[in-house]
Amino acid sequence: MSSSFLSSEEYDERAHQQYNEGNYDAALATLHEGLALYPTAVELHVGVGYARLARDEFAWARRSFEEALVLDPEHEDGLAGLGETLLRFGQADAAKRIFARVRALGYEDDIELMQQIGRALFRDDEFEEALEYFEVAVRQAPDSAEAVALVGYTQHRLSRDDAAAESLRRALKLDAGHVEARIYLGNLLYDRGDFEAALYQLDQTQPEDHWDELGIWRLIELRKSHLRLPDGDPSFEPWEARLAELAPAIDPTDEMLSDLETRFNEQDSREARDQLELFGTLLTELTGERAGEHAHRVEWSDGRGYVGSWEEIVQQMRDASPTAGQRTVQEFMQSEARRGFSLTGMLISSGDAESFLRGCADAGLLRIVH
């Protein structure tokens, strides 16, 4: 059926539906078809910008947002989209100026827009600024569980854990079914060592609520340790099934390359181990002279060694991991603690660097030399 009789608004609505379904190619085709008929339709240019942004085509997205703003310099969605695109280009200051302009134009009462801007800043690790926009949203809609939860997530990333826990509890009072806030609160309490409270929160979730393995591993461990449930308890079956669903599929080519790399590293490690042991002590002493009592050395079973303060060692370990640029140090510790538990069945704290490393040592994953 031909769509040539659609208005620009109808093209925009159809593209929105396709975008929300994750079909960005179809959304772009619809928007371009609409623009061929309505080249000055601002909403269609803005829609192209967001579709390009979703496909990580940042240069094209920027061009579309700028074309929209030529037609309407005060279009709030166009400004927000341009600001988000500038963040992707590393132009944080310019993006913040554009976001401030959105507020100056009087759009603070647009809760979704404030949350969109806050999320963009959050993804770029601009947590103080993100918190500001989320707090604006809460002031406008104090009964919004989502807005309050976003404040809590950001407070946690700013190491304001007491405030974060309070915000997340408030979000759950507003909406007991806000599972994302409940899982986040459970993990936050776990990291603080409040295991009974963490179990209380995580135990109210269902396997399908989880999109990350960490909360599931922790729930299983807490049920074993606090409820005295044995391995193989039937209640674990749906959780283990969910873990299997979340486990990333292994590409055969990646598996082959990983095997070849492992074999090479094993041979290389054998040749290097003697040299490593030879200068290991000297390296520790030299580092100790610079860092005093804060210098430590840990070694993995394959001979890899790291020297520095506890925090520096964990940072080095994170930087040496395959996903170094994708995770914060805290996320790295949480992921490794989860992996260590799956391998050894032992609880490894991820609350701070020293506890994490000593927990890894207790689990036999590494050796603390000094």
pLDDT tens per residue, range 111-147: 999 999 999 999 999 999 999 999 999 999 999 999 9
Helix axes 329-344, 353-362, angle to 10 degrees: 20
Alpha helices in the chain (DSSP H): 8-20, 24-37, 42-54, 58-71, 76-88, 92-104, 111-123, 127-140, 145-157, 161-174, 179-191, 195-202, 213-226, 237-246, 252-291, 310-320, 329-344, 353-362
Q: What is the dihedral of CA 36, 41, 44, 48, to 10 degrees?
A: 80
Average pLDDT, the chain: 85
Pairing between β-strand 366-368 and β-strand 305-308 as defined by DSSP bridges: unpaired
Return averaged pLDDT per consecutive 10 residues of the chain, 370 residues in all. Answer: 72 94 93 94 96 94 96 97 96 96 96 97 96 97 97 96 97 97 96 94 96 92 92 93 78 56 54 48 45 69 79 85 70 77 70 84 80
pLDDT at 361 (0 to 100): 83
Cβ proximity of 131 and 115 under 8 Å: no
- Distance in angstroms between the alpha carbons of the first and the last residue of the chain: 74
Fold of 8-246: 1.25.40
- Distance CA(241)–CA(175), nearest Å, equals 28
Domain ranges of the chain: 8-246, 273-368
The answer to whether the beta carbons of residues 145 and 174 sit under 8 Å apart is yes
Measured distance CA(60)–CA(81) in Å, rounded: 12
Looking up tokens 């604006």, which residue turns up? 136
Percentage of residues in the chain having pLDDT higher than 90? 61
Rounded Cα distance between 62 and 49, Å, is 7
pLDDT of residue 114: 97
pTM: 0.68
The pLDDT, as a whole number, for residue 290 is: 45
270-300, pLDDT tens digit by residue? 554 445 444 444 444 444 444 444 578 888 7
Map residue 236 onto helix, strand or coil. Answer: helix
Give Rg (Cα) of the chain.
Answer: 25
Q: pLDDT at position 286, please? A: 46
